[in-house]
Amino acid sequence: MTRERTRKIETTSNQLFLHVGQCGNQIGDSFWTFIDEAKQQHTSFLFHNQLNQKACFFIDTEPKVIQNYLNTINVCNIQKKEMITYPSKYYIEQSGCGNNWAIGFTQTREMVRKVMEDFRKEIEVLDRFDSTLMFHSIGGGTGSGLGSKLLQEIRDHYPKPYLLTQSVAPSAKGDSPLQNYNSILAIESLQEYADCIVWKENDELTRTIAYWKAKQHKTRKLGGGSIQSLLQNITLKDMNHAAAMDLIGLVLPYDSTSGGHNLPFNLGGFVQRLCPIPNAKFVDVRSAFYCKKRATHVLKHAIIPSIDHSMVKLCNDTLSSFTKTPWKSLSTQVIARGDEAIDTCTIEKMCKKAIVHVPWNPSSVHVDPLALGSSFHTAGATSVVTVASNRTSITSNISQFAHRASLQLNAKAYLHWYAKYGIESSRIEDALENCFSIIDAYDHLSAG
């Protein structure tokens, strides 16, 4: 029985956004900055609750990132006439989680209790509660451990609404010796509780930003250094912006030009198309925005500033950002918003040419019909293309974490840091087996 519901015109958000840990909150900063800038286009109401607060919780066991975001809102509200709204709730502790999944999972009971109590109050006033979207990383302690605990609690208390995450994996050359254990433990929770995992890996995210910077340099002939220096000059802020804008392109509402209303993004249909198989639900989402005028600061890391721009070119450049590898896609969805009409068959042909798909799925490419030809004028952008693909490339990332965790486990390295908080080696072994099961599932689907 499908969980997809009849769609209607909405006046408030029917979904909640959770930003957990340093990474999740930094991405949340960029995400909600864009929503604030989109206010004049009347799209932001779909991201706010009945009290006109942002329908989101900012959660961290250290104060710095959330406090900086709140201070930014305070300064903006003092300097501007139009008030910027605050998050519905934010939760700050001082202790941190020491880059340890076990601490975040077992030592945050009071924070989890407060979050879930406010979570319940937030959804009780909604006509309908559709989904939760969580932003977090998997390599540290808070986003990984506390994020896993919140996923468990939300799924246990609210089993029917969709649960989607944007999960950021650490670089292969991460600076924490615990990141491999943390990652496989978090992946186990994601696999068990989430309906769809929008996967971001720091090394691939850096490569993708370099791709767009090269596009910028080529089309606008930016001065001040060689192309190589532009590619190397990628900051953490660039990465946070890029990750936020990729998901923005996915969840923005559709503009109904005929009725003058905004329709919320159909998350249920997205999950059913991209993640129909429970053991294979890792999705790569990439968005590109085009701006005729100068982009707002939150968009400047995610645009194609092409003089001879067209929707076909925007689609082609977005598809080209995917790595050219033997990996196959189980299913792909394209969302193209903009004034220029574009033929569905054209996009499907481009997509199948750029990304190899499994032969057993005759409907492997879906072009969202509601987005085609819809008006898009938001925060300086005039069009946006989003490509979401459930690709077997995820096995490469998971294999790396599983291999390194296996070596550490065989050497009994760092296990005492987890046993100290009640997480025995058997729990890590189970998480490792879960990773191998995901790899086997994708290998089987790719071969089929």
Pairing type for strands 282-290 and 383-391 reads antiparallel
Q: Strand (E) positions, 202-310? A: 254-256, 261-263, 282-290
Q: Provide the pairing of β-strand 87-92 with 54-60.
A: parallel
CATH number, domain 395-447, options 1.10.405, 3.40.50, 1.10.287, 3.30.43: 1.10.287
Phi, psi of 289 (to 5 degrees): -110, 140
Matching fold, domains 245-391 and 395-447: no
Q: Which residue has the tokens 């192309």?
A: 227
Q: How far apart are CA 273 and CA 275, in angstroms?
A: 6
**pTM of the complete model beyond 0.75:** yes
Provide the 8-state DSSP code for 195: S
**C-alpha distance from residue 404 to each of 190, 362, 432 (Å):** 19, 37, 10
| DSSP conformation letters of 42-109 | T-GGGGB-TTS-EEEEEEESSSHHHHHHHHHHHHHHHH-SSPPPPEEEEEE-SS--TT-HHHHHHS-H
287: which 2 tokens? 């968005």
Read off the tokens for 113: 């209790």
pLDDT tens for each residue of the chain, 448 residues long = 333 333 444 445 688 999 999 999 999 999 998 888 776 554 555 677 777 788 899 999 999 999 999 998 888 877 775 677 888 899 999 889 999 999 999 999 999 999 999 999 999 988 889 999 999 999 999 999 999 999 999 999 999 999 999 999 999 887 789 999 999 999 999 999 999 999 999 999 988 888 888 877 665 444 444 545 665 778 899 899 999 999 998 988 776 544 445 677 888 889 999 998 989 999 999 998 887 655 555 455 455 544 446 788 888 889 999 987 788 999 999 988 877 777 888 889 999 999 999 999 988 999 886 666 555 656 667 788 899 999 999 999 999 999 999 999 999 999 999 999 999 999 999 999 999 999 999 999 998 6
Domain spans in the chain, listed from the N-terminal domain onward: 245-391, 395-447
Which pair of tokens denotes residue 243? 């990750």
Is CATH 3.90.1170.20 what the domain over 245-391 is classified as, yes or no? no
